[in-house]
Structure 1
Amino acid sequence: MSVNTPSSLGAFLRSRRTRLDPASFGLTGRRRTPGLRREEVAQRANISPTWYTWLEQGRGGAPSAEVLERISSALMLTLAEREHLFMLGLGRPPEVRYNPVNTVNPRLQRLLDSLDASPAIIKTATWDVVAWNHAAAVVLTDYGTLPPGQRNILQFLFRNPAVRAKQHDWESVARVVVGAFRADVARAGLASEVGELVAELRDLSAEFDALWQDNEVLNQSEGDSVKRLQHPTLGPVELEYSAFSVDGRPDLGLIVYTPLDSEVAQRIKALAARHQRDAVAEDVPDEDVRAG
């Protein structure tokens, strides 16, 4: 027997409604039961009070995605609760909701920093790098020296000669990146959001324009799992590519590059530690340095 029944949806709606504090919505007066009243939720969701009551009673029929979105907002559901609401009401998760970000929470940054010999980054669905560790700064790109609007992976690959020169097989890398970028953007419904970026790259790079017109759609896993770089300090470097989704953030992806050679790993670790020390030193005010 399926657990996704009208009664399951009704029970979930009631539990979320009764936990809300009426005072936080400017509602006063004595109440016999905790939480908001059904008609108050219906008003916040801009739906019929009768229909909302039927939904809680398990007899309202299947609600539309639009109605579930309004109910989710009315009940102030978290992302996990919103997904659960859609699973109960429609038997599928909601469409990905893209929220532009420029940084990540401290817990995720600590995870990146713990990978002291493996370059690791967090990228958005539009392939903007929003977090990285010190190993990524010394092996890939020192993203911290760039304004947030200039940390896009496609811009690096097609417009930065230094990044291009590092690639062992730039043509293969570029083909996979463009195909995977196209797939990610389509999956997230962000074609309009990247229109300006795509137009700019097509104007400035004949190679990007040709790849874009091919309309090839790929997963990054379809490329070589080993990233080969010619690093100006480290020399030839081979890094094993791994990609992970970020729990609770479908718009973010974690990419980790693991060194295949233990000696190279130690050298990356040493460079990353030096980069970290330099970054800390730059953050120390001049008077503190003089006092030391």
Structure 2
Amino acid sequence: MSTGLGEFLRSRRERLTPEAVGLPLGRRRRTPGLRREEIAELAGIGVDWYIRLEQGRAVRPSVATIDALAAALRLDDAERTHLAVLAHQTARPPFVRETVPPAVKRLIEGLDRPAYATGRRWDVLAWNDAACELFTDFGACAAEDRNILVYLLLDPATRRLFGRGWAVMARRTVAQFRAAHDVFAGDPAFTGLAARLAAHSPEFTAWWEDHDISVGRGSGQKTLHHPSRGVVTYDFANFQTNDDDAVRLTLFAPTG
């Protein structure tokens, strides 16, 4: 079993306080969060068994145990789903960058509104001219830079474009990437990207250590501070392709 499960459990245990789960404060605590034995008691499982889970040892919890741990750790729906995936994951083949079907690629390129397609790693797999004009020229980027996380966290112009909304959006995207990263635990395609981002973005490093998990939003609005258009607001929506549910299509349209 990968250490992803253990790291996730530990991160969620350390963010809890005795008050949050109705436990007395007791003696002074040297480390943040609850103790392992407290989580085990709240979940109704053995302490040794819980310790083995945090250590990433070969233990496969039942659905009932996952539900009990999720309740003890006060997990939301996205975190509970992530816990179940980590607990039952099996060895995966090495990650291979997704391919956008030719028909979908032609549809994207033919749209007069900004559109692009991304994969599990947030690689930008297809785009159109309108997306390049609104965001950045993906076609002119090196292949390794053609990635939403790289664009958001390592390109200074992106912060100016998204203004005050940048931090919320960037953190949410990191939380979505974390969910995929943990499923592909140890895969160089994911660990390498995470290491690159950590080396150049202090915000990424801080958010990464929180182990936040997000499934993202299907639709919403983004307000941009465009260098030539000024302040503009766009509606956006995300769709998965039937050919490969890892390929996500994002479409934009100006409001009003």
The answer, yes or no, to whether TM exceeds 0.5 is yes
User: Residue in 1 aligned with 2:97?
Assistant: 100
Equivalent of residue 173 in structure 1, options 151, 169, 172:
169
User: Residue in 2 aligned with 1:141?
Assistant: 136
Equivalent of residue 120 in structure 2, options 112, 117, 125:
125
Q: Is the 8 A contact 2:101 2:243 kept in 1?
A: no
Identity among equivalent pairs (%): 32
Matches within 5 A, 1:37-52: none
* Aligned-partner SS, 1:244: strand
Q: What per-residue deviation string (whole Å, max 9, x for no partner) do you get for residues 66-110 of structure 1? A: xxxxxxxxxxxxxxxxxxxxxxxxxxxx99975324x53331122
Equivalent of residue 207 in structure 1, options 203, 208, 213:
203
How many residues align structurally? 164
User: Residue in 2 aligned with 1:196?
Assistant: 192
- State the TM-score, normalized to the length of structure 1: 0.52
Q: Which amino acid aligns with 1:216?
A: D
Using the alignment, how far apart are the partners of 1:195 and 1:205 within structure 2? 15
The question of 1:237 aligning with 2:232 is answered yes
The question of 1:226 aligning with 2:228 is answered no
When Rg is computed on C-alpha atoms for both structures, the one with the higher figure is: 1
Q: CA deviation at 1:226?
A: 0.8
Using the alignment, how far apart are the partners of 2:100 and 2:240 within structure 1? 14
- State the TM-score, normalized to the length of structure 2: 0.59
Using the alignment, how far apart are the partners of 2:127 and 2:114 within structure 1? 8
Using the alignment, how far apart are the partners of 2:185 and 2:121 within structure 1? 8
Q: Which amino acid aligns with 1:146?
A: C
Q: What per-residue deviation string (whole Å, max 9, x for no partner) do you get for residues 95-143 of structure 1? A: 9975324x53331122113320x21111111011010011101001110
Q: Which amino acid aligns with 1:130?
A: L
Equivalent of residue 254 in structure 1, options 242, 249, 254:
249
Q: Which amino acid aligns with 1:100?
A: R
Give unmatched runs, 5+ long, in structure 1: 1-93, 262-292
Using the alignment, how far apart are the partners of 1:149 and 1:185 within structure 2? 17
Matches within 5 A, 1:57-136: 98-101=95-98, 104-116=100-112, 118-136=113-131
Using the alignment, how far apart are the partners of 2:153 and 2:253 within structure 1? 24
- Counterparts in 2 of 1:96 and 1:121: CA distance versus 1, 3 Å: farther
Q: Aligned-pair RMSD on alpha carbons?
A: 2.3
Using the alignment, how far apart are the partners of 1:123 and 1:230 within structure 2? 23
Using the alignment, how far apart are the partners of 1:230 and 1:135 within structure 2? 16
Give unmatched runs, 5+ long, in structure 2: 1-89
Using the alignment, how far apart are the partners of 2:190 and 2:114 within structure 1? 26
More off after superposition, 241-250 vs 103-112? 103-112
Q: Is the 8 A contact 1:96 1:251 kept in 2?
A: no
- Counterparts in 2 of 1:237 and 1:190: CA distance versus 1, 3 Å: farther
Using the alignment, how far apart are the partners of 2:186 and 2:117 within structure 1? 21
Q: Is the 8 A contact 1:229 1:236 kept in 2?
A: yes
* Aligned-partner SS, 1:239: strand
Q: What per-residue deviation string (whole Å, max 9, x for no partner) do you get for residues 139-189 of structure 1? A: 0111011122210111111110111210131111111111111123345x3
The question of 1:152 aligning with 2:147 is answered yes
Using the alignment, how far apart are the partners of 1:220 and 1:197 within structure 2? 20
